């Protein structure tokens, strides 16, 4: 079983090499899809292994897949598949020279995220998170316009500085472990209760590490790169970055939290993450009300959802199953929305909301999935985001964080109203009378990935076995057991 | 014999690190900053070598060679890799004047001594006493990132920040595991290459590398 741990790392690398070798072949456009399928299939294999009670490990203990890692790997694969398949480029455009690098970088990006969730070393995890910045830098700047260059510069500078702060934190955590018998960076060893780590070093290290990874997961006030990068990148890249890269950074916060909780208790990070979460919701609410660009609107929606997830992480074990389900639901829906937004941008030629009118009448093939996915992202049942949000709010109430979740609820209502207004502005209404048109039923790209993503999100909350069992097992991992 | 020199050597190396950091804030010419960065890389490699010899760890000597080749030679070469004539003309016009900037450096250094002694209380070891220098370098790196206008000068701030983190790592725990050290060096090298490419694209697109021009994206 331990061989499966290497597939999500080596597979995408192999496909990346293939993309560079297939000079003019049309097959090259399937490289991203193949790489994400490799990640998804191995993720599902590892999930089944974990549910059977084994914990695959390999590489001298450097790679390890407990329930949480296996689950996150599956999410990376699933969101990757939806983004790359939904954003499949046309055969003609995949023959250009740029396309080879593009597909190769997507595959590298997937490999880096897989390494981040599989590594049993906070150091290796850090290096993998930094590698995601490296892989996505040129993807964000892919269009080579002034705007995308600006977005890419801000993204790389802020992303690297943020992750450098996280490295400083990890260095301090390692310094704490040097004071004990076994110097280590393995989170498995560090999250055992009897190490006797120095509380002062762990406090400073944990705070810096969480601050750094929070930059990468787009939490306010370190979010300023996110709307720029996510709105300027090509649609599949935005889907991957918004849908799953942010959650991978949140996963890093979860691992750091499981180390600090044992040494200094949950209160310290709880305060930090609650403030970050509420600030993110506030930033998202205030900037969504007057938003004019629909890709930026989706980016601010990611800040909102990451903020609520951070509040869930702050609440602790009671909310963690909801947070983990949230990661999957948000990832799939956000990838879908970005894919559709890319198609709208392509056919309408403008990212401005007020220029895209009466989409439901003019282009039902795009507007119908857009409306359904929008309903899912603002939290309508039966989509799983609804159940995650309710779960987090209930859990917050039960552990005595009523003020925090109360404030979050108010901000969520504001965001809900803003989203509804913007979506209605884009889709509902009649086109101008003097313009003749025929309704366009084409989806302008593969339909199946969108249907799959929406159906999965709608159904997943009702599947107690094996999803519920897996989520509980993953939560138990973070409690220090297993 | 080595024991008597050891505290002095540590002091010499960390002193060189702090001095180069302060000079980077003072000098406005890009070429001077790059040379100072190279000098700082050499000082960092020497520090690691001294710690390695003192603790009898051959692995650290290997790491020191890695640092010498990446931070002392590789990165400065990448940064200076355009015609010397054009790079000599690049003068930074920072947001802070030199006096204010050097005053800020002094304050940041005092601050990091206070923070490290109060919060961490790093014992009485020679390396522990020098650890605040690393934090001071991190803070000075931030100062450069905030106060510089040109893309490449910001890049130097980022590298100073990274050197500071490496200094803290070596002074507090004798360095992180060697695999991580490799990964960190590779990551930093790649980030610098990417930012370097972007700075080049910026020059062709915007006609200059002043980061102030990046104002198109906002809400």
Q: Which residues of A touch B151 (CB under 8 A)?
A: 153
A202 and A159, same domain (yes or no): yes
Q: Check whether residue A308 and residue A367 sit in a common domain.
A: yes
Mean pLDDT of A45-72: 92
A212 and A282: one domain? no
Work out the pLDDT band at A45, boundaries 50, 70, 90: very high
The whole-number pLDDT of residue A232 equals 92
Which residues of chain A from 96 to 125 reach within 8 Å of chain B, CB to CB? 121, 123-124
Instruction: Kindly report the nearest CA distance between residue A44 and chain B, in angstroms.
Output: 28
Q: Do A123 and B168 touch (CB under 8 A)?
A: no
- Chain B residues contacting A, CB < 8 Å? 119-121, 138, 145, 151, 154, 158, 161-162, 165, 168-169, 172-174, 176-177, 179-180, 183-184, 187, 190-191, 194-195, 198, 201-202, 205-206, 211, 214, 216-217, 219
> ipTM of this model?
0.92
DSSP string, A78-139: HHHHHHHHHTPPPTTGGGSHHHHHHHHHHHHHHHHHHHHHHBSSHHHHHHHHHHHHHHHHHH
Q: Do A130 and B187 touch (CB under 8 A)?
A: yes
Kindly indicate the confidence band of residue B95, based on its pLDDT and cuts at 50, 70 and 90: confident
Please list every residue in chain A whose beta carbon sits closer than 8 Å to the beta carbon of residue B121.
Answer: 200
SS3 A441: coil
Q: Examine residue A137 and state whether it is found in any structural domain, yes or no.
A: no
Is the pLDDT confidence value at A92 over 90?
A: no
Q: Does the residue A453 lie in any domain?
A: yes
Closest partner CB to B217 (pick from A147, A172, A174):
A147
User: In chain B, whose CA is at the least distance from the CA of A186?
Assistant: B177
pLDDT one-digit tens code per residue, B144-201 = 988 888 888 888 999 999 999 999 888 888 777 888 888 888 888 899 889 888 888 8
Asked if A243 and A318 sit in the same domain, the reply is: no
Partners of B145 on chain A (C-beta within 8 Å) are 157, 161
Q: Is residue A42 a part of any domain in this protein?
A: yes
Q: In terms of domains, do A230 and A251 share one? A: yes
Q: Are A139 and A102 in contact (CB under 8 A)?
A: yes
Same domain, A441 and A305: yes
Domain count across chain A: 3
A206-259 per-position pLDDT tens digit:
999 999 999 999 998 999 999 999 999 999 999 999 999 999 999 999 999 999
**Predicted confidence (pLDDT) per residue in A284-324, tens digit:** 999 999 899 999 999 999 999 999 999 999 999 999 999 99
Q: How far is A140 from chain B (nearest CA, A)?
A: 11
Give chain A positions within 8 Å (CB) of B216.
146-147, 150
Q: Are residues A287 and A230 in the same domain?
A: no
- The reply to whether A57 and A204 lie within a common domain is no
Contacts of A201 in chain B (CB under 8 A): 120
Q: Is the peptide bond before A382 cis (omega within 30 degrees of 0)?
A: yes
Q: Is A178 within 8 Å of B174 when comparing Cβ atoms?
A: yes
Contacts of A215 in chain B (CB under 8 A): none
pTM listed for this prediction: 0.94
Joined together, the tokens standing for residue B114 give: 């206070």
A136 in a structural domain = no
In a domain, A238, yes or no: yes
Distance CA B197, CA A153 (A): 10
Q: Which residue has the higher pLDDT, B53 or B2?
A: B53
Q: Kindly state whether residues A208 and A311 are assigned to the same domain.
A: no
Of chain B, the end-to-end C-alpha distance in Å amounts to: 64
Instruction: List, as one string, the DSSP characters of chain B.
Output: -HHHHHHHHHHHHHHHHHHHHHHHHH--BHHHHHHHHHHHHHHHHHHHHHHHHHHT-HHHHHHHHHHIIIIIIIHHHHHT-S-HHHHHH-B---SS-HHHHHHHHHHHHHHHHHHIIIII--TT-HHHHHHHHHHHHHHHHHHHHHH--BHHHHHHHHHHHHHHHHHHHHHHHS-S-HHHHHHHHHHHHHHHHHHHHHHHHHHHHHSS-BGGG--S---
How far apart are the C-alpha atoms of A120 and A76, rounded to whole Å?
17
pLDDT at A482: 40
Q: Is residue A370 part of a domain?
A: yes
From A134, A167, A204, residue closest to B190, measured CB to CB = A134
8 Å CB contact of A153 and B214: yes
The pLDDT, as a whole number, for residue A94 is 66
- Tell me, yes or no, whether A242 lies in a domain: yes
CA angle A41, A45, A50 (to 5 degrees): 145
Between A11 and B56, the higher pLDDT residue: A11
Q: Does the distance separating the beta carbons of B198 and A152 come in below 8 Å?
A: yes
A388 within some domain:
yes
Domain end point (choices A209, A239, A265) = A265
One domain, residues A115 and A233: no
Q: Which of A205, A237, A265 is the last residue of a domain?
A: A265
Is residue A291 located within the same domain as residue A199?
Answer: no
Q: How confident is the model at residue A97 (pLDDT cuts 50, 70, 90)?
A: confident
Query: Are A291 and B219 in contact (CB < 8 Å)?
Result: yes
Residue among A160, A171, A291 whose CB faces B176 most closely: A171
Residues A94 and A22 in one domain: yes
What is the domain extent for residue A25? 1-120
Q: Which residue of A has its CA nearest to B173?
A: A175
* Contact of B60 with B51, CB cutoff 8 Å: yes
């Amino acid at each position: 079983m331990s061989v499966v741990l290497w597939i999500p790392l080596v597979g995408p690398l192999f496909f990346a090499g293939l993309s560079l070798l297939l000079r003019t072949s049309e097959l090259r456009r399937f490289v991203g899809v193949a790489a994400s399928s490799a990640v998804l299939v191995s993720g599902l294999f590892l999930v089944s292994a974990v549910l059977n009670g084994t914990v695959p490990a390999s590489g001298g203990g450097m790679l390890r897949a407990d329930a949480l890692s296996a689950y996150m790997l599956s999410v990376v694969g699933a969101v990757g598949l939806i983004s790359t398949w939904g954003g499949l480029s046309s055969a003609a455009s995949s023959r250009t020279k740029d396309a080879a690098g593009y597909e190769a970088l997507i595959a590298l990006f997937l490999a880096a995220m897989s390494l981040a969730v599989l590594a049993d070393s906070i150091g290796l995890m850090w290096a993998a998170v930094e590698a995601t910045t490296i892989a996505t830098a040129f993807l964000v700047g892919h269009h080579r316009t002034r705007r995308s260059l600006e977005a890419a510069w801000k993204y790389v500078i802020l992303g690297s500085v943020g992750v450098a702060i996280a490295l400083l934190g990890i260095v301090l955590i390692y310094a704490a472990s040097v004071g004990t018998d076994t110097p280590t960076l393995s989170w498995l060893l560090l999250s055992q209760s009897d190490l006797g780590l120095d509380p002062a070093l762990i406090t400073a290290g944990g705070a810096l590490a969480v601050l750094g990874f929070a930059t990468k997961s787009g939490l306010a006030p370190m979010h300023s790169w996110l709307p720029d990068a996510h709105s300027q990148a090509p649609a599949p890249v935005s889907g991957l970055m918004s849908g799953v890269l942010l959650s991978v950074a949140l996963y890093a916060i979860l691992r750091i939290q499981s180390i600090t909780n044992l040494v200094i208790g949950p209160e310290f990070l709880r305060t930090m993450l609650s403030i970050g979460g509420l600030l993110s919701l506030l930033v998202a609410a205030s900037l969504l009300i007057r938003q004019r660009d629909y890709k930026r609107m989706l980016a601010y929606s990611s800040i909102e959802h990451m903020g609520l997830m951070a509040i869930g992480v702050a609440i602790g074990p009671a909310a963690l199953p909801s947070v983990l389900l949230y990661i999957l639901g948000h990832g799939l829906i956000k990838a879908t929305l970005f894919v559709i937004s890319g198609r709208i941008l392509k056919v309408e030629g403008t990212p401005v909301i007020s220029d895209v009118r009466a989409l439901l009448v003019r282009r039902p093939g795009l507007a119908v999935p857009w409306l359904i996915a929008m309903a899912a992202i603002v939290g309508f049942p039966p989509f799983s985001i609804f159940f995650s949000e309710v779960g987090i709010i209930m859990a917050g109430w039960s552990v005595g964080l009523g003020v925090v979740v109360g404030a979050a609820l108010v901000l969520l209502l504001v965001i809900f109203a803003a989203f509804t207004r913007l979506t209605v502005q884009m889709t509902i209404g009649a086109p101008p009378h003097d313009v003749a048109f025929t309704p366009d039923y084409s989806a302008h790209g593969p339909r199946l990935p969108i249907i799959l993503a929406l159906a999965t999100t709608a159904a997943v909350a009702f599947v107690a076995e094996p999803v519920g069992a897996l989520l509980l097992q993953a939560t138990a991992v973070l409690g220090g057991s297993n | 014999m080595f024991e008597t020199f050891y505290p002095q050597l540590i002091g010499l190396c960390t002193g060189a690190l702090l001095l180069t950091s302060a000079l980077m804030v003072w000098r406005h010419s890009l070429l001077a900053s790059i040379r100072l960065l190279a000098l700082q890389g050499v000082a960092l490699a020497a520090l690691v070598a001294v710690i390695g010899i003192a603790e009898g760890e051959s692995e650290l000597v290997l790491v020191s060679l890695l640092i010498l080749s990446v931070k002392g030679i590789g990165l400065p070469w990448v940064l200076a890799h355009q015609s010397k004539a054009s790079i000599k003309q690049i003068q930074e016009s920072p947001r802070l004047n030199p006096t204010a900037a050097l005053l800020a450096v002094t304050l940041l250094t005092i601050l990091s001594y206070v923070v490290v002694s109060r919060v961490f209380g790093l014992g009485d070891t020679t390396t522990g006493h020098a650890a605040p220098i690393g934090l001071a370098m991190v803070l000075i790196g931030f100062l450069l990132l905030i106060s510089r206008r040109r893309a490449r000068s910001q890049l130097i701030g980022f590298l100073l920040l990274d050197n500071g983190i490496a200094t803290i790592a070596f002074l507090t725990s004798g360095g992180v595991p060697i695999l991580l050290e490799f990964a960190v060096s590779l990551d930093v090298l790649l980030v610098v290459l990417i930012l370097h490419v972007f700075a080049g694209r910026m020059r062709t697109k915007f006609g200059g590398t002043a980061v102030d021009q990046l104002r198109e994206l906002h809400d």
